[in-house]
Structure 1
């Protein structure tokens, strides 16, 4: 049993599995753009979720190394995990899209008005028809709220990816493990994890970089609802096996 062949197979399968599954990268790029995360923050959250995604599947792969009946149960568990992850992604996407509606409604009730100063400079402030006449300023409370929202969204994605199965990993591990080739098992697991997370990061980086160069796509009031719809669509694609 050649460890190199198994490792190359693991790398190729991991890259294809990740690239062909938009649920591995679109949610991060869409939510990162909507919430105006830096590319570094988006990639950090992607990496953490990728590690959880792979590690959870490793636990199942370890269980699958038992008797055949256990392996069959693990196959069933993997299928159930996939459905749970898909429904969680749909639910989160729909909830986030609904949350985004408030920005669309708010924009319809806002207009800008100009102020001239003694030195001749001018600037504009947003004004809400149903609020007191105050000028917006970033406060400590708002900064704290933004940090909390990053944590909340990050945790939501992490939990979803814990349930998301890495189906190809289990047979890749079981084949060499059944013959006691533990060095090969270690190589396969390492290569598969690096290739999976690396592919996620590469695609998310490309998408996030592209969106960062198109501010108009990030600035619209609809961007949150669009991000939620994207996440929900990824979940639906998972259910359909796409």
Structure 2
């Protein structure tokens, strides 16, 4: 029991450290939420479900692997491979969103000072559409992309913590450790994203709509590049 208590406290501590030291756990939600003008509630829900997918995928792999008798080294190699995949996915998403930001910047800058009658007809129609109609015509895949990226994202520090209760055949111990780790990881994600989202709402840029998507893409691109090339 003392060992399980110690492991649970360790799991909570590592969950917090693992999250707070990984900017990829919160920066994408903050910058995309700012760029897409998401409400705080929507941003938090997207973060919450992404956190569930992030922790849940590692828990599933760990428990299935342990049940099948896979070695710790084998499970860690699987998590390392998943880490490489998610780094490239985040890098690719950041690159794609950066190009999207460049497109939006050029489009807004090109038409920013033109009177309405000089704008192309297609641009005028889009410009005068009500906000809710624009949203209805545009399928927003961004939250799903973020969710899928986080499902691929590994929690490398979790699986070694599950080995001891698995060795002692304690299913309750495994669930307890998983619960503590999940609480620390998801709550840290939520708190950090909440503070970042509220803080970003206080920052007002002149003509921010021109380059806010470009800035968001650049931040995600740097985060992905750090994972791929620097091992963040």
Cα offsets for 1:62-84 (capped at 9, x unmatched): 13324765433222211111111
- Greater shift in the superposed pair: 188-197 or 214-223: 214-223
Cα offsets for 1:25-61 (capped at 9, x unmatched): 0000010000000011111100110000001000111
Whole-angstrom distance in 2 between the partners of 1:188 and 1:196: 12
Structure 1 pair 18/5, CA: closer, same or farther in 2 (3 Å)?
A: same
Structure 1 pair 26/218, CA: closer, same or farther in 2 (3 Å)?
A: farther
Structure 1 pair 140/10, CA: closer, same or farther in 2 (3 Å)?
A: closer
In the TM superposition, residue 187 of structure 1 has moved relative to its aligned partner by 1.1
Whole-angstrom distance in 2 between the partners of 1:57 and 1:128: 56
Match of 1:219 in 2: 208
- Alignment coverage as a number of residue pairs: 227
Q: RMSD across aligned C-alpha pairs, in angstroms?
A: 2.2
Structure 2 gap ranges (5+):
none
In the TM superposition, residue 218 of structure 1 has moved relative to its aligned partner by 8.6
Match of 1:176 in 2: 165
Structure 1 pair 27/10, CA: closer, same or farther in 2 (3 Å)?
A: same
Whole-angstrom distance in 2 between the partners of 1:220 and 1:204: 21
Whole-angstrom distance in 2 between the partners of 1:27 and 1:61: 26
Structure 1 gap ranges (5+):
114-125
Match of 1:30 in 2: 31
Cα offsets for 1:72-112 (capped at 9, x unmatched): 32222111111111101111110011011122112222245
Query: Do 2:40 and 2:194's aligned partners in 1 also have CA atoms closer than 8 Å?
Result: yes
Whole-angstrom distance in 2 between the partners of 1:19 and 1:142: 36
Match of 1:104 in 2: 105
Structure 1 pair 10/139, CA: closer, same or farther in 2 (3 Å)?
A: closer
- Greater shift in the superposed pair: 60-69 or 219-228: 60-69
Query: Do 2:75 and 2:159's aligned partners in 1 also have CA atoms closer than 8 Å?
Result: no
Query: Do 1:173 and 1:185's aligned partners in 2 also have CA atoms closer than 8 Å?
Result: yes
User: Which structure has the greater CA radius of gyration?
Assistant: 1
Does residue 198 of structure 1 match 2:199?
no
Query: Do 2:31 and 2:216's aligned partners in 1 also have CA atoms closer than 8 Å?
Result: yes
Cα offsets for 1:88-139 (capped at 9, x unmatched): 11111100110111221122222458xxxxxxxxxxxx64844146662416
Q: 1:164 aligns with which of 153, 160, 171?
A: 153
Structure 1 pair 69/47, CA: closer, same or farther in 2 (3 Å)?
A: closer
Q: TM-score, normalised by structure 2?
A: 0.89
Match of 1:9 in 2: 10
Cα offsets for 1:191-239 (capped at 9, x unmatched): 1111100000000000000011113289341110111111121112222
In the TM superposition, residue 177 of structure 1 has moved relative to its aligned partner by 1.6
Query: Do 1:11 and 1:191's aligned partners in 2 also have CA atoms closer than 8 Å?
Result: yes
Query: Do 1:64 and 1:174's aligned partners in 2 also have CA atoms closer than 8 Å?
Result: no
Q: TM-score, normalised by structure 1?
A: 0.86
Whole-angstrom distance in 2 between the partners of 1:43 and 1:55: 18
